[in-house]
Amino acid sequence: MARGRGELASQREVALVDLVDRALNTGVVIHGDITISLAEVDLVYLNLRLLLSSVSTVRRDLAEALDETGGLAR
């Protein structure tokens, strides 16, 4: 993940955040009940702290995960 100096993110990182954001927050909903689990170490966006803003449960879990790990070393 190549970030330039002073850059908050790289293009690749942002593309992945945008993808996760879209996959979780958009799309046709067939019924209200969706169960997903969070992979602990495979989420680049935890490193960036670009938290998803409209899925409140995911946000809470991510915030807790961040507090526990003190941010992910990557």
Partner 1 sequence: MRALRSDGLAAVYTRHRSHTPQVSRAEVLAHERVLEAVMKRGPVLPLRFGTQLESEKELEEVLRERRDALLSALERLRGRVEMGLRVLGGSDGRSRVGRGSGREYLLGRLDEQRRADRAARELHEPLADLALASALREQPSPPAILVGSYLIEEENVARFRERAEALATNQPDLQLFVTGPWPPYSFTGEEASA
Contact residues toward partner 1 (CB under 8 A) are 7-9, 11, 14-24, 26-30, 34-39, 42-44, 48-54, 58-59
Tell me how far, at minimum, the Cβ of 66 lies from partner 1, in Å: 8
What the block records as the tokens of 28 is: 């046709």
Q: For residues 63 and 27, what is the distance between their CA atoms, to the nearest angstrom?
A: 24
Would you say 59 or 69 has its CB closer to partner 1? 59
What the block records as the tokens of 57 is: 């449960």
4, 5, 6, 55 from 20: Cα distances, Å: 23, 25, 24, 11
Tell me how far, at minimum, the Cβ of 18 lies from partner 1, in Å: 4
Tell me how far, at minimum, the Cβ of 73 lies from partner 1, in Å: 17
Q: For residues 47 and 41, what is the distance between their CA atoms, to the nearest angstrom?
A: 10
Would you say 36 or 69 has its CB closer to partner 1? 36
